[in-house]
Amino acid sequence: KAGVTQTPRYLIKTRGQQVTLSCSPISGHRSVSWYQQTPGQGLQFLFEYFSETQRNKGNFPGRFSGRQFSNSRSEMNVSTLELGDSALYLCASSLEAQANTIYFGEGSWLTVV
Amino acid sequence: QKEVEQNSGPLSVPEGAIASLNCTYSDRGSQSFFWYRQYSGKSPELIMSIYSNGDKEDGRFTAQLNKASQYVSLLIRDSQPSDSATYLCAVNRGNQFYFGTGTSLTVIP
């Protein structure tokens, strides 16, 4: 079956702009979580959605937001981009909320210039 | 103090040798422990999970957990060049995953 699909795969934005990333989970999976990966900080948890509700949130500023649709697809948005937001943004899906096994998508590489 | 600490490496081993990767975690409330492999430019892939003290073997991989020492390790036997990747240790605590920054492993043919 198809894995977790993230779009776009690569993008370049300018400081101050905003960006929206999309994630389609594995068919049948209802939970989607988002992570930011940078060389210095590693993988850091952004938030988790289940049944269109945010269940958990990491320690990121309010510029980072997300949502989940009724078909379990999810989007995350970053407003007023900063250079430090350059990172690989990974989406992971699981069958249920707060599950032990999560499956990652290929990620969206964001570069802020 | 970080939730999960790993030696960033790089760790180099010759082909056929045993690679040993280590990880410590800070919170005794951590419940589940995982090892992910991440090839350069790719997403993390789950290779092992362990939930109770002791060893768990899966093919060439063995995960070891010592909750008293708050220590998790991954042994890769008969290392192959295709094992060259970054290995991420992760713990699940309070239904949230915490990842280490990863250990880079190179297997030299």
Spatial separation of the C-alpha atoms in residues A102 and B51, rounded to whole Å: 15
With a cut of 80, say whether residue B52 has pLDDT above it: yes
Q: How far apart are the first and last CA of chain B?
A: 37
Quick check: B99 and A104 CB within 8 A? no
Q: Which two tokens stand for residue B5?
A: 């600490």
Spatial separation of the C-alpha atoms in residues A57 and A33, rounded to whole Å: 9
With a cut of 90, say whether residue B93 has pLDDT above it: no
Tens-place pLDDT, residues B8-31: 789 999 999 999 999 999 998 888
Instruction: Count CB-CB contacts under 10 A for residue A74.
Output: 25
Helix (H) or strand (E) run with residue B25 in it: strand B19-25
Quick check: B97 and A102 CB within 8 A? yes
Quick check: B98 and A90 CB within 8 A? no
Spatial separation of the C-alpha atoms in residues A100 and B11, rounded to whole Å: 28
With a cut of 70, say whether residue A97 has pLDDT above it: no
Quick check: A42 and B97 CB within 8 A? no
| Higher-pLDDT residue of A102, B83 | B83
Tell me the mean pLDDT in the region A22-38: 95
With a cut of 70, say whether residue A99 has pLDDT above it: no
Class of residue A97 by CB neighbours under 10 A (exposed 0-12, middle 13-18, buried 19+): middle
Tens-place pLDDT, residues A57-84: 999 999 999 999 999 999 999 999 999 9
Tens-place pLDDT, residues B73-84: 999 999 999 999
Minimum distance, in Å, between the CA of residue A93 and any CA atom of chain B:
13
- Per-residue confidence band for A1, with pLDDT thresholds at 50, 70 and 90: low
pLDDT at residue A110 in the model: 97
Interface test with B, best of A50, A98, A100, A106 (most B CBs within 10 A): A100
pLDDT at residue A101 in the model: 83
- In chain A, which residues have their Cβ closer than 8 Å to the Cβ of B100? 42
Quick check: B44 and A105 CB within 8 A? no
Spatial separation of the C-alpha atoms in residues A5 and A11, rounded to whole Å: 16
- Nearest-by-CA chain A residue for B96: A98
pLDDT at residue A14 in the model: 98
With a cut of 60, say whether residue A10 has pLDDT above it: yes
Query: Which strands make up the sheet holding B4-6, listed edge to edge?
Result: B4-6, B19-25, B71-76, B61-66, B54-58
